[in-house]
Amino acid sequence: MRKLKLHHSTPPDIPEASTADIAFLLLIFFIVSTGFPDIGLPLILPSSTGVVKEVARSNVLEVVTARTGEYYIGKTETPVSLETVAQTVKDQLVANDKLIILLETHPEAPYEKFVDALDEVMVTYERLDQQNIRRERRISIKTIEYE
């Protein structure tokens, strides 16, 4: 009986030296060719040549974020919760279609607290839109110097 000789050859190697280069080029290709949606908060900022208009006090709702991160509505002395801010904004927007929401923030207030207040105002506008109560988004942002 005849024995077969088995050839032990080395398997073919795939060169790995350029693998990192190829991965990097693919990464760049997909980053460049991917379209990113426009996300963020749609804020209308005033132009430098904007005209200043006087507004009736009854058409302005002040939401103040204090140095401590507490919220105040108008000139009240007692802090309110973020849920109360949202409910007050909703009630005022339903009652007054010319309402301007003035978000005032102390310079030393936690930034997250200001963003939370702004988010609540934006969400309130969205909820009113879903209920077919259309209101123009009139939001003014200001830094305060007092407490």
Please check the confidence at residue 30 and state whether its pLDDT lies above 80: yes
Backbone φ and ψ for 119, nearest 5 degrees, come out as -60, -40
Please check the confidence at residue 60 and state whether its pLDDT lies above 80: yes
Axis-axis angle for helices 111-130, 82-95 (nearest 10)? 40
Domain coordinates in residue numbering, the chain: 71-143
Residue-wise pLDDT for 121-136, tens only, equals 999 999 998 988 888 8
- When the pLDDT of each residue in the chain is averaged and rounded to a whole number, the result is 84
Residue-wise pLDDT for 93-121, tens only, equals 899 888 889 999 998 999 999 999 999 99
Contacts 24+ apart (CB under 8 A), 97-100: 97/135, 98/59, 98/138, 99/59, 99/60, 99/61, 99/135, 99/138, 100/55, 100/59, 100/60, 100/61, 100/138, 100/139, 100/140
- Rg of the chain's alpha carbons, rounded to an integer? 29
Whole-model pTM? 0.63
Q: Which two tokens stand for residue 29?
A: 């290709």
Beta bridge partners of 71: 65, 80
pLDDT at 16: 75
- Structure confidence at residue 91 as a pLDDT band (50, 70, 90): very high
